[in-house]
Amino acid sequence: MPLFWLRVALTLYGIGLLGAVMSLWTNRSTLTRVMLGAAGSGMVFHFVSLTEIVMLSDTAALSSLHQIESFLAFLLMTFFLVIYGVYKTVSPGIAVFPLVFLLTLSAQTSALSNDASASQVSNSWVNMHVGLILIGYSALIFSFFASILYLIQEKNLKAKGKKSGVWSRLPALATIDEIGYRCLVFGFPFMTFGLISGSVLAEARFGPGFFRDPTILSAIVMWVLYTILLYARWSAGWRGKRAAYMAACAFCTALVVLAANGLSSVHRFVSP
């Protein structure tokens, strides 16, 4: 059943994606309502799917790549709706819907059951570690999206009345900046405690040698970049290109962390 609910959610996210793409060319409030309705109802089915996985699972619920994709998609959609609730903007939807759709599509291609061999360490520790890290990732992804939107809006304003086409309906620069900054601030403690909990887990199982692992090393690099970005924005008010490049670096490092799982001996996803 979790797979069935996930596929229902996928269909609804697909409708939301269509609405997001179509709303680029037209300013119809109907499309916004369709997009938000699809996102909201998709999340309900997605939540049911995730809950069933946790309840049916004997092992850590978030230990396979597909489950992580599914949970990350759910978190991104939650961020999107919260941001809409606060700022009344659907602009991030054009980036969020494709990403959520692809993550959910990938997640549903495989059965969501767990491999029993995953039960190597405490399930609740693994779930907590992965959950915290994914909330931090979601915040970082949104901050990155906001940086891109900031650059586009800045370019629009500097273009001085020349046609900005589909991007003319972006929110105000100050609003985009605030979304990016608040996402960063919100995600930082989650990312930090996620890494700490992961370190505790790894040390318990592998001893101090886990530090030489590529996944762990790249995760630390990502955390350092995240910290520098947050500090630069807080102390020097970094915005625009510099903030966008820094967020892009942190985001790319986050992708490297995911890719490095393939090379890691201590941090591997369970095969689906």
Our separate counts of H helices and E strands in the chain read: 8, 0
Please report how close the Cβ of residue 156 comes to another protein at its closest, in angstroms.
8
Give bridge partners of residue 270 from the DSSP assignment. 64
From the list 3-11, 107-115, 136-144, 154-162, the region that binds another protein by CB under 8 A is 154-162
DSSP string covering 119-141, please?
A: TTS-HHHHHHHHHHHHHHHHHHH
Q: Which long-range contacts (CB under 8 A, 24 or more apart) does 154-163 make?
A: 154/240
Q: With contact defined as beta carbons under 8 Å apart, do 114 and 57 qualify? A: yes
CA 65 to chain centre: 14
- As a whole number of angstroms, the distance between CA 45 and CA 51 comes to 10
Nearer of residues 116 and 162 to another protein, judged by Cβ: 162
Q: Which of 166, 236, 255, 259 binds another protein (CB under 8 A)?
A: 236
Please report how close the Cβ of residue 20 comes to another protein at its closest, in angstroms.
19
Q: Which residues have a Cβ under 8 Å from the Cβ of 225 and sit 6 or more positions away?
A: 246, 249, 250, 253
- Residue 208 within binding range of another protein, rule CB under 8 A: no
Please report how close the Cβ of residue 87 comes to another protein at its closest, in angstroms.
9
Burial of 65 (0-12, 13-18, 19+ CB in 10 A): middle
Q: Which of 82, 200, 241, 263 binds another protein (CB under 8 A)?
A: 241
Please report how close the Cβ of residue 37 comes to another protein at its closest, in angstroms.
18
From the list 41-49, 77-85, 107-115, 150-158, the region that binds another protein by CB under 8 A is 150-158
- Residue 175 within binding range of another protein, rule CB under 8 A: yes
- Residue 172 within binding range of another protein, rule CB under 8 A: yes
From the list 13-21, 23-31, 202-210, 253-261, the region that binds another protein by CB under 8 A is 23-31
The CB-side HSE value for 223 (13 A sphere, CA atoms) comes to 17
Closest alpha carbon to 127 in 218, 186, 51? 51
Nearer of residues 224 and 236 to another protein, judged by Cβ: 236
- Residue 158 within binding range of another protein, rule CB under 8 A: yes
- As a whole number of angstroms, the distance between CA 34 and CA 44 comes to 15
- Residue 24 within binding range of another protein, rule CB under 8 A: no
# of chain residues touching another protein (CB under 8 A):
23
Nearer of residues 24 and 173 to another protein, judged by Cβ: 173
- Residue 29 within binding range of another protein, rule CB under 8 A: yes
- Residue 157 within binding range of another protein, rule CB under 8 A: yes
- Residue 240 within binding range of another protein, rule CB under 8 A: yes
C-alpha dist (Å) from residue 122 to 58, 64, 165, 196, 198: 11, 15, 52, 15, 12
3-state helix, strand, coil in the chain (%, to 5): 80, 0, 20
Nearer of residues 82 and 236 to another protein, judged by Cβ: 236
Nearer of residues 136 and 180 to another protein, judged by Cβ: 180
**Which residues of the shown chain bind another protein in the complex (CB under 8 A)?**
27-29, 153-154, 157-158, 160-163, 171-175, 236-242
